[in-house]
Structure 1
Amino acid sequence: MESPRWWLLFPALMAVDHCLALVDQKDSDPIDTNPRDVPPRPALPCHKLSVSNIDFAFNLYRQLAWNAPGENILFSPASVSSALATLFLGAPAASRAQLLEGLGLNLSVVPEAEVQEAFQDLLLRLPLQGPRLLLTVGQRRFHSLGPGAGQDPGEGQKCIREYVEKQTQGKLGAWVEDLGNETAAVLVNHVLLRAGWETPFDLEATSPKEFFVDELRTVQVPMMRQKARHRFLHDPELQCTVLQMDHAGAGNVTTFFVFPSRGALGQLEDALLPETLIKWDSLLRTRELNFHFPKFSISSTSRLELLLPRGAVGGGLPGQPGLNVSRVTHKAVMTLGEEGSEAAAATSIQLTPSPHPDFDSTPPPDTEFRRPFLVMTFHTETGSMLFLGKIVNPLG
């Protein structure tokens, strides 16, 4: 039996103080090895967030999928949760626990001081830089934007746009931040990933093939081809195929592609849980694969305020009422090709002195992966999900 080389999620589900860590052992041919015999990396403060953050990511994904059936979905759970945690940890004590529970964090299990330490540790450990791997994260708060603040709203929008463009190297295109009339502050969080494949595709082997968007529609998509060894499994219970492809850079970033069988997408989406990842990790085996895979380039913009917990998050000036989350905008892009993938995301949270306003709600190995699929990119040291999406149409 192969030793799992992702992170040991199971102990973290059983006890918070256990580690969610990647095992430093490269795959080889399947052998009978007890995973317990392989020592994990030491536990890190950020590991106390891993299961909660993954659960939050899957819950948010299901809400987005429900509101936009048949559409591409892409977001950065790491960006959204980090931005919200920054605000929630500064909220009044009366609402702090409830707001953090909206992120899947139970303060009776992980004390608030440890939650704060864990997020700080996460933001310190996520950035990576190497010849073929770049990961940057960060956030900035823009103040004095409300009425009477003495700053032209247009100038505030320009500053935010320029910040997002610089931090994401223009990957998000023209970021437009329409500030509400009462907006007093904006918190912006960004993530940028540029990661080459550990085993690149053959540049000369790409050719157009049909991709089945749904039962009635196909599109011509450039399909890459590769013959290489990857971790792979077929899950008969959930009727899906899972392919793991590592990125260059000492095993710090890996991506999982999950291809449901025809008609099984809904069942798969319902089963997205940390425990499902544990099961897949125990079943994945390294195999020699000769397969075709679609190139894609997608972007997704989401309004999240109605999907997230509400409440005053503090931040007002002395003697003034606390601020409330009024608008949460998230935009993400991802491009995947022969040499690797590039992705970027930004989360913008507008804060107003007034309560949350009402908004309109928005409602056996298959070697040719030619139907809608899920993509999950992880930072393995911290157990963080950097990007989560559903590719319905690779052409965007």
Structure 2
Amino acid sequence: MVASLYRVLLIVGLCVATCCVPPSSSPGGGCLHPSSVKSSPASQVTSGNTDFAFRLYRRLTVQSPGRNVIFSPVSVSTSLAMLSLGARSATKTQVLQSLGFNLSLTPEPAIHQAFQHLIRSLNMSSSNLGLKMGSVLFLREELQLQASFVASVRRLYKSNVFSIDFSDTATAQQRINSYVKKETKGKVVDVIHSLDPLTAMVLVNHIFFKAKWTKPFNPTVTNMSFPFLVGDRAPVHVPMMHQVETFGFGMDPELNCSVLQMHYKGEAVALFVLPAKGKMKQLEWALSASRLRKWSQSLQERWIEVFIPKFSISASYDLETILPKMGIHNAFDKNADFSGITKRHSLHVSKAAHKAVLDISEEGTEAVAATVAKLTVRSKDGSSHHVLYFDRPFLLLVINTATDAILFLGKVENPTQA
């Protein structure tokens, strides 16, 4: 009997919302990497995946020149690692090696156990940090799965598993989109625009992040029409937030860029990286795990007068056109081997969709008095400080300090480009 040819749809739906609200009594200082968790199992995942994140970033910038870039490296990596549980032979090897793992040094069980620890760490509840990542499998009703695959995705990746009728494409599409919308608090909508009736499995990984600055901005001093340089075109005008405070700051003379670190309440920081004019490409091609470590070691707390735009950006990507260029070939063609998922049907990945939303804004009236007081006192002090204008394209990284995982990575090319 000829095996039925079905398709696997890999969806990553995610969002990040950053809110500026009153600080807590706990200090916001500290370095990017806390020493207490450097040897955690989850960090084994992030060390190799950081370079994967930057390689994927470069591919996305080439595909979308002149546009904003925003995606979640940890979400994409987790989705692919979870899918690799059902892959065999070269299909499995390509996925794991592309994620940055040396399979001769790190056995596959250790990789999945490290992802298990990573997911557990990211989902630890915190009143100061809203962070949730999860996975779900929507499976064709008549698909006979390998019991070991279902058990592993549930145990290691905490994935929910649902049966669905893919022959009714409209209903299936609505059900999956509703699930992603709910899990991302309404931020990610319509992640699927079409479904093939031959779809066998849809894998969804979603991540939601909402955090509060430890040192918030004062909304009353935001300049609502500040010029932002966009390439060679006329500048656009954006709301520009402003404050004077102590932040982690460093300069990279090799790459001609400034690095600003701002802490969230909870175990997360944001890195804003501003290249000198005309040096963005040089910066992008030099991004690496070792460069990120170098920055974290050189940051020092300094008085900074900072201007950062208030913005909301989003991006959607068809990763099935990008991942093969990064070494993941077989999963998307006739050579795919997903016999670890089911032996009775031939599967390949037909779609790998990824959508991200990023909001950075200020809110909370309680923040006004404290921040205004600080701004007034600092200016009267007359203390010298560095002035940093993010009034041209810059990079942004949101990092979980408990695991060193890059939660979000992007480039703000035009803050008015939704």
- Normalized against structure 1, the TM-score is what? 0.81
**Offset from partner CA, 1:168-225 (integer Å, 9 cap, x none):** 0101134334112321110000000000101100111101210001132211100011
How many Å apart are 1:79 and its aligned residue?
0.8
CA distance in 2, matches of 1:146, 1:153: 15
CA distance in 2, matches of 1:317, 1:210: 53
CA distance in 1, matches of 2:166, 2:270: 46
For structure 1, the 5+ residue unaligned runs are: 8-21, 24-39, 341-363
Q: Which residue of 189, 203, 226 maps to 1:187?
A: 203
SS at match of 2:49: helix
Deviation beyond 3 Å, 4+ runs, structure 1:
128-132, 145-151, 173-177, 315-319
Aligned residue number for residue 240 of structure 1: 257
Letter in 1 for 2:345: P
1:291 correspondence with 2:287:
no
Q: Is contact 1:206-1:224 (8 Å) kept?
A: yes
Q: Once structures 1 and 2 are overlaid, which stretch shifts more, 76-85 or 177-186?
A: 177-186
CA distance in 1, matches of 2:176, 2:47: 32
Letter in 2 for 1:330: H
CA distance in 2, matches of 1:197, 1:259: 20
Q: Which residue of 158, 163, 176 maps to 1:160?
A: 176
CA distance in 1, matches of 2:235, 2:402: 39
Aligned residue number for residue 60 of structure 2: 64
Letter in 2 for 1:385: I
CA distance in 1, matches of 2:293, 2:341: 46
Q: Is contact 2:319-2:354 (8 Å) kept?
A: yes
1:388 correspondence with 2:409:
yes
**Offset from partner CA, 1:214-255 (integer Å, 9 cap, x none):** 132211100011111100112111011100000012xx0111
SS at match of 2:41: coil
1:146/1:65 CA distance change after superposition, 3 Å: farther
How many Å apart are 1:278 and its aligned residue?
1.4
CA distance in 2, matches of 1:176, 1:265: 33
SS at match of 1:66: helix
1:257 correspondence with 2:253:
no
- Tell me the C-alpha RMSD between the 2 structures: 2.2
CA distance in 1, matches of 2:203, 2:337: 12
Aligned residue number for residue 344 of structure 1: none
How many Å apart are 1:85 and its aligned residue?
0.6
SS at match of 1:121: helix
1:150/1:366 CA distance change after superposition, 3 Å: closer
Aligned residue number for residue 246 of structure 2: 229
**Offset from partner CA, 1:263-290 (integer Å, 9 cap, x none):** 0000000100011011111211100112
Q: Which residue of 92, 96, 116 maps to 2:92?
A: 96
How many Å apart are 1:327 and its aligned residue?
0.7
How many Å apart are 1:94 and its aligned residue?
4.3
CA distance in 1, matches of 2:207, 2:79: 11
1:313/1:232 CA distance change after superposition, 3 Å: farther
For structure 2, the 5+ residue unaligned runs are: 1-28, 144-163, 331-335, 365-384
Aligned residue number for residue 372 of structure 1: 393
1:211 correspondence with 2:228:
yes
CA distance in 1, matches of 2:242, 2:130: 25
How many Å apart are 1:127 and its aligned residue?
1.5
CA distance in 1, matches of 2:341, 2:231: 52
- Normalized against structure 2, the TM-score is what? 0.77
CA distance in 2, matches of 1:319, 1:60: 32
CA distance in 1, matches of 2:412, 2:219: 22
How many Å apart are 1:339 and its aligned residue?
4.5
SS at match of 1:254: strand
In the comparison of the two structures, how many residue pairs are matched?
339
